[in-house]
Amino acid sequence: MPTTEGWWPLVFGRLSYDALPFYSAIATGAASLVVVGAIAVVTLLTWLGRWGWLWREWLTSLDHKKIGIMYVVIAMVMLSRAVVEGSLMRAQQAVAFDNPGYLEPEHFAQLFSTHGSIMVFFMAMPFLTGIINFALPLQLGARDVSFPLLNSISLWLTAGGAGLMMVSLVIGKFSTGGWSGYPPYTDATFNPGVGPDYWIFAVTLGSLASTMTGINVAVTIYKKRCGGMNPFRMPLFCWTSLCTAILMIFALPPLTVATGLLALDRYIGTHFFTNDGGGNMMNFANLFWLFGHPEVYILILPAFGVYSQVISNFSSKILYGYDSLIIATMCIAVLSFTVWVHHFF
């Protein structure tokens, strides 16, 4: 195989045939589905002559509603994969009683890592971001968010991270270090393959996108309210979106720092998280869960706002305890930064 001399390293570097997913029939089938699906989409768009329309009307659009819809589409695509992976893991647990089942241990660990990473970073986060993008400016009486271009950049950073998750099905193997990516399971000594690199880059892109989104949402609420809408006249969904945005602004940077330092440990031999080199992996645990506990409320607070808004609107009732709900939501946002250590257990 021409991987060390000739034209191959000039074109493909260290990429070899070993990176293709032929180690498992399930992996081969999943990769084939991704490739065939991508080819089918490209063929359909070409046959319909819709590339120009797609580029002009959607991919380059700065309209908050269209960006919100694209966020939700990404979330649904990733959800479809995550559901299949969850089903495979549950089926393995169901049949692997007094026998090894149909999944190799390493393949199960990959599914466990991708399922968790997708559900948190590339399903739940894009879905709630899409809803906020679509509904928030309308509820505020604003034409758009404060920074439409930044909004589009956030979308495509998220799409890039989701794309890396899908590429990992076809080329190489994904991390086996779980959705939290704990060292030493993900450092170069114990896991020298490309799997942790996929996780690091995908999660870093997602965390940068969410930080930008938080800034955008917060500034929009502060600066783009229509005339006469003081903060205590805003719909409750706007308040929960504001609390979520504040959590994004302050909770996502620790995750970005953690993935960046882990990348430095892997790529240039630093020792931030390697115990035998003077580092401490508990630093990673603290950084990750300093993000991870507020993340719980980043995901649930918008849902609180949706339920409160929808039920009060469609029952034609004034929302009971509006002021106290706002205070409670703000307290949840603040307190979520103080209790992350219980995730260590």
Each of the 345 residues of the chain gets a pLDDT tens digit; together they read 445 567 877 887 778 888 888 888 999 999 999 999 999 999 999 999 999 999 999 999 999 999 999 999 999 999 999 999 999 999 999 999 888 889 999 999 999 999 999 999 999 999 999 999 999 999 999 999 999 999 999 999 999 999 999 999 999 999 999 999 999 999 988 898 899 999 999 999 999 999 999 999 999 999 999 988 999 999 999 999 999 999 999 999 999 999 999 999 999 999 999 888 889 999 999 999 999 999 999 999 999 999 998 999 899 888 888 999 999 999 999 999 999 999 988
Domain boundaries, the chain: 61-344
Task: Provide the 10 A C-beta neighbour count for residue 271.
Answer: 14
CATH number of 61-344: 1.20.210.10
Q: Which DSSP symbol is given to 226?
A: P
pLDDT at 285: 95
What pLDDT sits at residue 304? 93
Long-range contact pairs involving 273-278 (C-beta distance under 8 Å, separation at least 24): 273/183, 273/184, 273/187, 274/183, 274/184, 274/187, 274/189, 275/184
pTM of the model: 0.93
pLDDT at res. 8? 76
Q: Tokens representing 78?
A: 């990733």
| pLDDT given for residue 1 in this prediction | 47
pLDDT at residue number 167: 95
Cα–Cα distance measured from residue 26 to residue 171, given in angstroms and rounded to the nearest whole number:
14
In the three-class reduction of DSSP (H, G, I as helix; E, B as strand; rest coil), residue 235 is classed as coil
